[in-house]
Structure 1
Amino acid sequence: MSTGHAGFDRFIGGLDGLVTGGTILPAWSPDGRSLAFLDGTAEERTGRLVDLETGESTPLVADVQALREEVRKATGRSPAGRGLPFDHIAFTGPRTLLGVVGPDRVTLDLDTGDVREVPEERAVDVHTGFADSVRRTPREFLRTLPMVDPMKVRELVSPGGDLFVSTEGGNVVLRSAADGRSVPLTSDGTPEHEYRFDLVDPSMAMLGLAFPVCNWSPDGSRLAVHRVDNRGVYQNPQVHQLKREAEVVFRYDPLAGGKLERTTLHVLDVHGGAPVELDLGDTTDTYPVHAAWLPDGTALVVFVLSRDCRRAEVLLADARTGATRSLFVEEGETFLRIHHDVYFGKKIGLFLTPDGTRLLWLSERSGWKHLYQYDLDGDLVGQLTDGNWPVDYVCRIDGEHVYFTAHLDQARPYDLHLARVPLAGGEVEHLTEHAGKHSAMFSPDGAVFVDTWSTPAEAPRSVLRRNDGALLCELSTADVSRLEWTPPREFTATAADGRTELWGTMFFPADFDETRTYPLIEYVYGGPQIAVVPRAFHDVFTPRAQALAQLGFVTFVVDGRGTPERSKAFHDVVHRDWAGALVPDHATVVEQLKARHSFLSDAPVGVIGHSWGGYSAFRLAAERPDVYSAAVSSASGFDPYSSVLYECYLGFPQTDADAYRDAAVYPLAERMSAEFMLLCGTIDHSTWSNNVTMSEALIRARKQHEFVVLPGQPHSYDAAHNSYYWRKVSDFFRTHLVKTSQ
């Protein structure tokens, strides 16, 4: 993406193009003895082979030039670059690698150095679908999801690798790897009353980079699915206008307090047996989810969340009859889970031990998120973790321990560490120690894990550890020699309540000079479902805040009260009070930063946000024009009545009218005195009408503003429109902030 500003363009794509190494993609040998990985740039690729018992690390190949020559002989093509010729590697045997070299695939014997080309399949076999690569490769299909456009995903492969499932026209379709042909597994589904199944990328789940979900039974004979009845649910129009005849598509988008889709849970028999519906009673206004199969495949653990997110029930269901029995129920004064986790990621906080005898349950009943253990009679066995720190999520469970990520160091409350605790009860063991955000990728047998961590200012580093945290060896350290920048700075400030510590990160121009003064811009989100302040080198919000700073600003991101990853009380500030802490907390942070740093201009600051961040940007500027003089709102969700996603925080418009009235921002158009720019894509069905209505409110209030229309764009923008968006943002802030601060 190019905006025409070299400094901005260098950072908007993230730091991956400027920094290499530090993170690795492990290839584990099938005998559990070795780890192989590639490192460095494509031009100077290196690789290492690690003995998992001793930690000894050696070059993957002793003679790189000899390997390159062998690859040339095998493929008839000279490989690109000067280092190892592989783009990707994977083990096919204890001492044999499969390597991808451009369009070719070769095998490498690590003992003999023998290289052989994997024969290409006949073009006619590929064309007719008989080739192995066609029959055994998951195919794309369009998967429907709540509230968003259908997404292209890959078929789900069965445990035995012989079957693939997808959906089409509301039904589940089964494809055989034997001949590539498909048959419907259900026939009564429709787009309005459709079958779905939960799905994550299995390779990402194996690496610990996605949350596992429940679908295939362990033996591959049954499939857990859910059926969604959308009839009567509000549909938002999506108008496609970039062709000769406009096309209107309607997307299901339930309103706060409106009719919710009704979901039922089912088990399908791949051998043709009758589908089984699980007996959950009336599931109206609930969110039922398959949680886990018992190891023998006879039963499933089921999770049911009430619509207001304040009651969760865990049940055990017989896969053959559908009969269920309740195991335990938890109720809360506020939300126990949130819509985003249950709706989209199935991050339900419920885990089955490998032997199928115990359940682990994440609960904030103590005021902090911790792990509790139940048996399959529903009796509480005990609390596994405790303390004034929250568990993040469970990574792995073996026969003795549960491994989890947690915010263990409350001196740095957003740092993420790996820990474990015995299933039998006992002390929590800290397995990582360096400051920063840690992620772990376990070997298939769980004996070791790759520990990768970084901070906003410190590039990634990866090491190999035993599962007790003992260091085995260094793996990769990032090369930052091409990174010319001023590193970000983490900071703390005090919330508007005068007591609570808030954390944020500031970003600077590459040529930052502390003796000069710079206008300040806040990159805001403020939505209650995620903490957004960059805590790692490659965090989601880093590129935008970093790039924006290159236009001659200092930028910052801060998480105020009402957001997660702290105590329950910290998060509950948003309960029935969507914006009660938003403006006070963020405005006081601006005031504290200005008082603290002489390099910050005295002029009012700018603020920019996307989605709920656009709501926050508007509200901050409208309510505190003495602090914020220019605001940009992109794809903003302005209207709390327009989405079911508000319900777990605000309740329902019918019973909690004041909470919704206080969250509404259209009435604030009368108070907007800051320079203001709206942007939205025309097929963003969830927020387009929100933005049109906001523009209308500003026009009625006689408020000047700019409304940038992004034709044919959904909630996120493609490269061309994203470039245009950032050019508009750049011109906007240069005009209204730089001029004001001079």
Structure 2
Amino acid sequence: MTTGHAGFDRFINGLGAFVTGGAIIPAWSPDGKSLAFLDGTPEERGGRLIDLESGESRPLVADVAALREAVRTATGRTPAGRGLPFDHVGFTGPRSLAAVVGSAQVTVDLDSGAVGKVPEERALDVHLGIAGSVRRTPREFLRSTPLIDPQKARELASPDGDAFVSIAGGNVVLRSVADGRTVPLTDDGCPEQDYRFDLVDPQLAVLGMAFDVCNWSPDGSRLAVYRADNRGVYEIPQVHHLKREDEVVHRYFAQAGRPLERTTLHVLDVHGRAPVRLDLGDPADTYPVHAAWLPDGASLVVFVLSRDCRRAEVLLADATTGQTRTLFGEESETFLRIHHDVYYGKKIGLFLTPDGTRLIWLSERSGWKHLYLYDLEGNLLRQLTEGEWPVDYVQRVDDDYAYFTAHSDQDRPYDLHLARVPLAGGAVEFLSEQPGVHGVMFAANGESLIDTWSTPAEAPRSVLRRAGGTVICELSAADTSELEWTPPRQFTATAVDGETELWGVLFFPADFDETKQYPLIEYVYGGPQIAVAPHAFGGHFGNPAHALAQLGYVTFVVDGRGTPERSKAFHDVVYHDWARGLVPDHAAVVQQLKERHPFLSAAKVGVVGHSWGGYSAFRLAAERPDVYTAAVSSAPGFDPYSSVLYECYLGFPQTDRAAYRKAEVYPLAAQLKAEFMLVCGSIDHATWTDAMKMSEALIRAGKDHEFVVLPEQMHGYDEVHDAYFWRKVAGFFRAHLQEGIR
């Protein structure tokens, strides 16, 4: 077994290097009759071909050696390994595949086994951008994103694949696949008033991936876009130090209670008609979203959320005139939607039925997140789901059913299951049975689906199901023979209210010994927009916790009250009180774990977190010095006044002063007793000022602390700086937690 720094390095990037199979990348045949996928290690990769009607499973290629020889003959190169020499495959016809071997593109005939090499394009044509592959490949562009640096994105393809759109100089640009040339669809964009569109490609539907919005009209003649007017929005400086001369860049950064970008919605015509602005009234202090095009392309469904997230409206807009009418709305005493979901992901919980006559609305009006069906006159037809469990999200809608994932197991509230409900009304059918977190991918025709599930200790398995839930066949089970570890354990604890059950996951060193004593480290987040305890195998928040454990600790991740995926009441604990469930619940979990497990009874406790996790780590250490000995805050979001991201939960500084005062942490600097390390990237304009203010508060309070600066790093760190960060974390906890541990 590998522990220590080698074990840390082994696990920090996840378990994928030691586990093969279990989850697959599907290729669905264009005639809807077959599924192909690859499985196994790169050295000995195999593949399967599934008949979707009968469930018969057979090797994708009958004679692998013959295929490899055919590849060598076609390409002039001997493929690496001993198995199928492909990373991915795709169908080009009912019985033919396309794949890449090295730099060569090949085709494979599944009946004859013949391999053909796709002719290479002239290097000059590729260089000049006139080669077919270059014209048909989405190009990168810089996309404006609220609050953060412009992000690299790829052009969005039209429904027929004949054109792409991107943004250049704040304007929408259309590029033809025919010749690669571009034409602007707008001419009044600029850096402070720029156009944007959602990067949700309709081609993702072939993978069965759920999405809420599609910018292109069904016939590809129109495009729904946003225009963000940043005039008057606060600009925050970002200082770059590594060139010969310092450079200062200003980023738009809307702050709590101060001006928000004014977003308007527009319809562009690819054939040259003037853009149409949708009539949504005064755009100030709203978050409008293009929700869906009606099938005839004449109208759009629009979602508008108020700035405080307590009011939402659904409207129907005429794509030609821009006129709108309200269909229905909803108000709540607290937030209706998670702010991040709407602001960044356009995850709005609104779904159009395929015939374009009804809308499915996700609402927590009953105290639990459920589905409601409306017509296009705004009438509520029926509530589709009910019960003391929450719907997670709608994954697919067909003419008869809404398919969705849900936290439907009340004994295991973070397990995620697939279900469906008839649009005509009727009982919910639960389509997955095994404990764990289930993810689904539908075939393009919706008649079958891949169900993949796992738990923290059980690697993924995938089966093929019919849409009604019947298992057709097993597809893949993960091979964990190379994984040397002590599996993590899910646990429950009781919140400080004495009755609410909290769920978390414990991680252990590979050579864990229950007779020994271990320091305890909490990897914390605590933000209200996501639940982070990893109830599936591996995962973003599980990887660091698992890796830290290899340094000789027991680590854990838990979700306290004030986070989503449970009841509305569980989530609403954060409303107007940012830390109400944070410090009491997390400290209570630590105490219960130490009482429950002899190997933790004498443990010193550390805590580490990033972003809002950095806020949580500091607050836990400052308010509960009897529990936490050492804390690390990375890229910490300390200041509730600094960003609009706080408003949906705290309100506004002008009207909800008490909520903001309770959320402040700089006054807690004077009571910090724990050892403390502060880490931040120098160009993380979102939190650099927060980190500087905290360091100043600690200095004035006479509190020693470490301040680690990561030059030219943003809110996320690159590979080199991330490795340096974790080396610093390891040394910090070794110095302050491991003394006296046997």
Task: State the TM-score, normalizing by the size of structure 1.
Answer: 0.99
Distance, in Å, in 2 between the alignment partners of 1:204 and 1:611 is 30
Deviation at 1:214, TM superposition (A): 2.4
Task: Within 5 Å, give how 1:389-400 maps onto structure 2.
Answer: 389-400=389-400
Q: Classify the secondary structure of the residue corresponding to 1:264.
A: strand
Distance, in Å, in 2 between the alignment partners of 1:212 and 1:240 is 37
Distance, in Å, in 2 between the alignment partners of 1:104 and 1:489 is 45
Distance 1:205 1:541, change over 3 A: farther
Q: Which runs of 5+ in 2 are unaligned?
A: none
Q: Classify the secondary structure of the residue corresponding to 1:640.
A: coil
Distance, in Å, in 1 between the alignment partners of 2:71 and 2:321 is 57
**Aligned match of 2:711:** 711
Distance, in Å, in 1 between the alignment partners of 2:310 and 2:3 is 46
Deviation at 1:213, TM superposition (A): 2.0
**Aligned match of 1:412:** 412
**Aligned match of 1:629:** 629
CA contact (8 A) 2:158 2:164 kept: yes
Q: Write the deviation string for residues 451-495 of structure 1: whole angstroms up to 9, x where unpaired.
A: 000000000000000000000001000000000000000000000
Deviation at 1:595, TM superposition (A): 0.4
Structure 1 window deviating more from structure 2 (232-241 vs 655-664): it is 232-241
Paired AA for residue 617 in structure 2: A
Q: Classify the secondary structure of the residue corresponding to 1:225.
A: strand
Q: Write the deviation string for residues 159-197 of structure 1: whole angstroms up to 9, x where unpaired.
A: 111111000111000111111001111001111011111
CA contact (8 A) 2:313 2:326 kept: yes
Question: How many pairs does the alignment contain?
Answer: 741
Distance, in Å, in 2 between the alignment partners of 1:206 and 1:708 is 45
Q: Write the deviation string for residues 373-394 of structure 1: whole angstroms up to 9, x where unpaired.
A: 0000000001000000000010
**Aligned match of 1:359:** 359
Task: Within 5 Å, give how 1:579-594 maps onto structure 2.
Answer: 579-594=579-594
Runs of 4+ in structure 1 over 6 Å off: none
**Aligned match of 2:445:** 445
Q: Write the deviation string for residues 76-127 of structure 1: whole angstroms up to 9, x where unpaired.
A: 0000100011121000000000011111111111011111101101112212
**Aligned match of 1:9:** 9
Q: Write the deviation string for residues 511-532 of structure 1: whole angstroms up to 9, x where unpaired.
A: 0001111000100000000000
Distance, in Å, in 2 between the alignment partners of 1:55 and 1:566 is 37
CA contact (8 A) 1:241 1:247 kept: yes
**Aligned match of 1:692:** 692
Paired AA for residue 102 in structure 1: G
Deviation at 1:603, TM superposition (A): 3.7
**Aligned match of 1:654:** 654
Distance, in Å, in 2 between the alignment partners of 1:285 and 1:310 is 12
Q: Classify the secondary structure of the residue corresponding to 1:58.
A: strand
CA contact (8 A) 1:603 1:740 kept: no
Distance, in Å, in 2 between the alignment partners of 1:551 and 1:435 is 30
2:619 is equivalent to residue 619 of structure 1: yes
Deviation at 1:740, TM superposition (A): 5.6
Q: Write the deviation string for residues 614-636 of structure 1: whole angstroms up to 9, x where unpaired.
A: 00000000000000010000000
**Aligned match of 1:131:** 131
Task: Within 5 Å, give how 1:114-153 maps onto structure 2.
Answer: 114-153=114-153
Q: Classify the secondary structure of the residue corresponding to 2:68.
A: helix
**Aligned match of 1:556:** 556
Distance, in Å, in 1 between the alignment partners of 2:718 and 2:283 is 38
Distance, in Å, in 2 between the alignment partners of 1:472 and 1:669 is 60
Distance, in Å, in 1 between the alignment partners of 2:3 and 2:127 is 42
Distance, in Å, in 1 between the alignment partners of 2:413 and 2:533 is 12
Task: Within 5 Å, give how 1:662-681 maps onto structure 2.
Answer: 662-681=662-681
CA contact (8 A) 1:288 1:303 kept: yes
Structure 1 window deviating more from structure 2 (536-545 vs 364-373): it is 536-545
Q: Classify the secondary structure of the residue corresponding to 2:86.
A: coil
CA contact (8 A) 1:417 1:438 kept: yes
Deviation at 1:540, TM superposition (A): 1.3
Q: Write the deviation string for residues 332-370 of structure 1: whole angstroms up to 9, x where unpaired.
A: 000001220011100000000000000000000000000
Deviation at 1:200, TM superposition (A): 2.7
Q: Classify the secondary structure of the residue corresponding to 1:514.
A: coil
**Aligned match of 2:74:** 74
2:40 is equivalent to residue 40 of structure 1: yes
Distance, in Å, in 2 between the alignment partners of 1:624 and 1:448 is 52
Paired AA for residue 508 in structure 1: F
Task: Within 5 Å, give how 1:228-239 maps onto structure 2.
Answer: 228-239=228-239
Q: Write the deviation string for residues 278-301 of structure 1: whole angstroms up to 9, x where unpaired.
A: 011111100011000000000000
Distance, in Å, in 2 between the alignment partners of 1:305 and 1:456 is 36
**Aligned match of 2:537:** 537
Q: Write the deviation string for residues 539-576 of structure 1: whole angstroms up to 9, x where unpaired.
A: 21111000000000000000000000000000000000
Task: Within 5 Å, give how 1:206-225 maps onto structure 2.
Answer: 206-209=206-209, 211-225=211-225
Paired AA for residue 156 in structure 2: L
**Aligned match of 1:226:** 226
Distance, in Å, in 2 between the alignment partners of 1:430 and 1:416 is 11
**Aligned match of 1:724:** 724
Distance, in Å, in 1 between the alignment partners of 2:39 and 2:573 is 45
CA contact (8 A) 2:212 2:350 kept: no
Task: Within 5 Å, give how 1:150-299 maps onto structure 2.
Answer: 150-200=150-200, 204=204, 206-209=206-209, 211-299=211-299
CA contact (8 A) 1:3 1:724 kept: no
Distance, in Å, in 2 between the alignment partners of 1:711 and 1:429 is 53
Distance, in Å, in 1 between the alignment partners of 2:632 and 2:40 is 39
Structure 1 window deviating more from structure 2 (356-365 vs 125-134): it is 125-134
Task: Within 5 Å, give how 1:21-60 maps onto structure 2.
Answer: 21-60=21-60
CA contact (8 A) 1:682 1:713 kept: yes
Paired AA for residue 621 in structure 2: A
Q: Classify the secondary structure of the residue corresponding to 2:573.
A: helix
Deviation at 1:136, TM superposition (A): 1.1
CA contact (8 A) 1:201 1:210 kept: no
Distance, in Å, in 1 between the alignment partners of 2:544 and 2:74 is 45
Distance, in Å, in 1 between the alignment partners of 2:546 and 2:208 is 28
**Aligned match of 2:471:** 471
CA contact (8 A) 2:200 2:214 kept: no
Paired AA for residue 18 in structure 1: F
Paired AA for residue 691 in structure 2: N
CA contact (8 A) 1:577 1:663 kept: yes
Paired AA for residue 239 in structure 1: V
2:384 is equivalent to residue 384 of structure 1: yes
Paired AA for residue 487 in structure 1: P
Paired AA for residue 686 in structure 2: S
Deviation at 1:604, TM superposition (A): 3.3
Distance, in Å, in 2 between the alignment partners of 1:601 and 1:76 is 64
CA contact (8 A) 1:440 1:450 kept: yes
Deviation at 1:129, TM superposition (A): 1.9
Q: Classify the secondary structure of the residue corresponding to 1:641.
A: coil
Paired AA for residue 352 in structure 1: L
Paired AA for residue 663 in structure 1: A
CA contact (8 A) 1:200 1:210 kept: no
CA contact (8 A) 1:197 1:225 kept: yes
CA contact (8 A) 2:226 2:266 kept: yes
**Aligned match of 1:491:** 491
Deviation at 1:67, TM superposition (A): 0.5
Paired AA for residue 265 in structure 2: L
Distance, in Å, in 2 between the alignment partners of 1:316 and 1:203 is 25
CA contact (8 A) 1:601 1:741 kept: no
Q: Classify the secondary structure of the residue corresponding to 1:556.
A: strand
Paired AA for residue 677 in structure 1: M
Q: Classify the secondary structure of the residue corresponding to 2:636.
A: coil
CA contact (8 A) 2:205 2:444 kept: no
Distance, in Å, in 2 between the alignment partners of 1:445 and 1:43 is 34
CA-atom RMSD, angstroms?
Answer: 1.2
Paired AA for residue 677 in structure 2: M
Distance, in Å, in 1 between the alignment partners of 2:731 and 2:679 is 14
Q: Which runs of 5+ in 1 are unaligned?
A: none
Distance, in Å, in 2 between the alignment partners of 1:239 and 1:4 is 37
Q: Classify the secondary structure of the residue corresponding to 1:173.
A: strand
CA contact (8 A) 1:211 1:346 kept: no
Distance, in Å, in 1 between the alignment partners of 2:4 and 2:247 is 34
